[in-house]
Structure 1
Amino acid sequence: MIVPPTSSARPGPRRRTLLASLAGAALLTGCSDGGDDGAEGGRGAPSVSQEKRLRALAARESADLLGQYDEALAALPSLAARLAPLRAEVDRHVKAFGGAPRPTRPTQPSGSTAPSTPPVGEKDVLKALAAAERTLSDRRLGALVDAPAELARLLASVAAAGAGHAYLLTEG
């Protein structure tokens, strides 16, 4: 019997879903194990101001990443179908951390763009976005140690999403 072509496409999405699920589960397990040990000063929980500072930093970093997506879309509007869902998710991350939502930048560069800007290739743009996602994901994993439990779970979830974005940008 001949296997229908749809069955050959099934391992990709299942593998991605599995990888994302495993990464998220590992991160959340790591968060709950490290979060119960207490803070450095012998106190059980980080201060409210520390949590606000961590949230503000996470929102700012997500907003910066969102700006990189906007720049990529402005440089290469042909990537809109591929980048729009990832950009929308990064925008939700900004909001989840308490940051202000950002409007989408126009896809056509303004007249102030320097004519000496070299043309950018799709692979280079995708590689740069994947590197930015990976770097931010790693920073968020490092911030888990200092975060209170609820924020640590959010950071872990967003870090896992960032790792998934990096994978999709390079492999997808």
Structure 2
Amino acid sequence: MPSYPTPSYASSYARSGPRRRTLLTGAAATAGAVLLSGCSDSGSAEDERSSAADRLRAGAARDSGELLGRYDAVLAAHPSLAGRLDPLRAEVKRHKTAFADGLATPSASASPASAASPSSSPSAPPVPTDEKDAVRELAKAERELAKRRGSALLDAPDELARLLASVAAAGAAHAYLLTEGDK
């Protein structure tokens, strides 16, 4: 192969300093380091979000368990309300199970046996002796819990936010159904 002489003007274009390939290699290494450090930071942020979501789920399952205890207490005090309250109680039980099933740690979730059996909550307030007052108290508890869940969904991850929104809407519907007979 013939060798071609370098033109004399080529030396005037020669740059002093690093070549383009060196700069690109250095930039790639720097970008890689930034990405790696970003991954480790986002990993811990992801863990924090997952932990916060688990706490939110556990709290929602506990709240549903407490509401279920209220239903059980009212039904024990006023068995004649079973026809009206049983369908709503069954929904609350499903809500508790839905929240508990999504928990990452089995120790934080309710056991299937406790989710299946009716149990009264020790923190449930005393049941009024008047049926209408007892139902009104249930409606108030449903309404308050629906409001808290509506507020909590703003900070929840997508899937949990949808579940919270759905259960909050169901709670609001329960409150309406419980107070509908008062009108």
Which TM-score applies when normalising by structure 1?
Answer: 0.65
Answering whether residue 167 of structure 2 is matched by residue 158 of structure 1, we say: yes
Judge conservation of contact 1:46–1:148 (CA < 8 Å) in 2: no
CA offset digits 1:7-40 (Å, max 9, x no partner): xxxxxxxxxxxxxxxxxxxxxxxxxxxxxxxxxx
Answering whether residue 113 of structure 2 is matched by residue 104 of structure 1, we say: no
Letter in 1 for 2:170: A
CA offset digits 1:49-94 (Å, max 9, x no partner): 0000000000000000000000000100000010000000000000
Question: In the alignment, which residue of structure 2 is the partner of 1:136?
Answer: 145
Judge conservation of contact 1:65–1:90 (CA < 8 Å) in 2: yes
In the alignment, the residues of structure 2 paired with residue 60 and residue 143 of structure 1 have an alpha-carbon distance, to the nearest angstrom, of: 14
Letter in 1 for 2:132: K
Larger relative contact order (Cα-Cα within 8 Å, sequence gap ≥ 6): 1
Answering whether residue 81 of structure 2 is matched by residue 79 of structure 1, we say: yes
Pick the aligned partner of 1:95 from 94, 97, 101: 97
In the alignment, the residues of structure 2 paired with residue 119 and residue 44 of structure 1 have an alpha-carbon distance, to the nearest angstrom, of: 46
- CA offset at residue 46 of structure 1? 6.6
- CA offset at residue 146 of structure 1? 1.1
- CA offset at residue 102 of structure 1? 4.3
Letter in 2 for 1:65: L
1:1-172 aligned at under 5 Å gives the runs 47-98=49-100, 99-100=109-110, 101-105=115-119, 120-172=129-181
Letter in 2 for 1:97: F
Judge conservation of contact 1:46–1:147 (CA < 8 Å) in 2: no
Mark the CA change 1:46 to 1:137 in structure 2 (over 3 Å): closer, same or farther. Answer: farther
Count how many residue pairs are aligned between Structure 1 and Structure 2: 120
In the alignment, the residues of structure 2 paired with residue 121 and residue 97 of structure 1 have an alpha-carbon distance, to the nearest angstrom, of: 32
Listed as ranges, the gaps of 5+ residues in structure 2 are 1-44, 101-108, 121-125
- CA offset at residue 128 of structure 1? 0.1
In the alignment, the residues of structure 2 paired with residue 45 and residue 159 of structure 1 have an alpha-carbon distance, to the nearest angstrom, of: 26
Identity of aligned residues (%): 61
CA offset digits 1:110-160 (Å, max 9, x no partner): xxxxxxx89711110110000000000000001011100100000000000
Listed as ranges, the gaps of 5+ residues in structure 1 are 1-42, 107-116
Mark the CA change 1:44 to 1:105 in structure 2 (over 3 Å): closer, same or farther. Answer: closer
- CA offset at residue 104 of structure 1? 1.9
In the alignment, the residues of structure 2 paired with residue 45 and residue 148 of structure 1 have an alpha-carbon distance, to the nearest angstrom, of: 13
- CA offset at residue 45 of structure 1? 10
Question: In the alignment, which residue of structure 2 is the partner of 1:35?
Answer: none
For the aligned residue pairs, the C-alpha RMSD in angstroms reads 2.3
Q: What SS class does the counterpart of residue 120 from structure 1 fall into?
A: coil
Larger Rg: 2
Q: Which 4+ residue blocks in structure 1 deviate beyond 2 angstroms?
A: 43-46
